[in-house]
Amino acid sequence: MTENIGVLGTKKSSQRKGVERVVNAPLPTVYGAFQAVGYLDHDRGDEQVALVYGDIGTESVLTRLHSECLTGDAFGSQHCECGDQLASALRAVVAEGSGIVVYLRGHEGRGIGLLGKLRAMALQAEGLDTVEANLALGLPVDARDYGVAAEILHDLGVRSVRLLSNNPRKREALLQHGIQVLEEVPLLIPPCENNITYLRTKRERLDHRLPHLDAVAHWS
């Protein structure tokens, strides 16, 4: 792990901008023993966390930017693959021996919030796809901003990553904020009947790289 990760003071200032590292705490998990590095995003008011495993160094750090998904991460929803992706990313980082999972709060429902996401899911149950549902509600298709993730990586001393992602927009965002992406590592989860339409929409309309869906032909 990089130097100087520890508990910091929590000085309050209405003039503060950007991301402030606040605390570092050991976090033993079923996957392995992580360090939970907590941040406050002064621009948006969100509390963020990076789960750091091992001695990450500065270059070619295996990294996952994981958007908050209460229904998938906590409740095991099969509407998406988010919970399985989070678990797979944590396992991959431990297997690698070092790495980071940045858990991005404020990204629920691709940035439209929990209630917005639930409303969109209700419309999807009526036949709209995930893009059509957001638009029908007058909400953006994807309102996520990965600038805070880049700030966290900069704070941790990371200059380049191998990015665990199927979403090319994450790579583009990191590059725009000065983090080099040396490789995009696929994070492919076997689909199920409940999420195959959602995943196909992500591939066809949101440019996610999901080649494993080609082998699934028995669900409409």
Catalytic residue among 142, 159, 162, 169: 142
* The two structure tokens encoding residue 32: 């392995």
144 is catalytic: yes
Catalytic residue among 21, 110, 119, 144: 144
Spatial contact of 34 and 20, defined as CB atoms under 8 Å apart: no
Q: Which one, of 59, 58, 81, lies nearest residue 71 by Cα?
A: 81
Q: Which residues are catalytic?
A: 142, 144
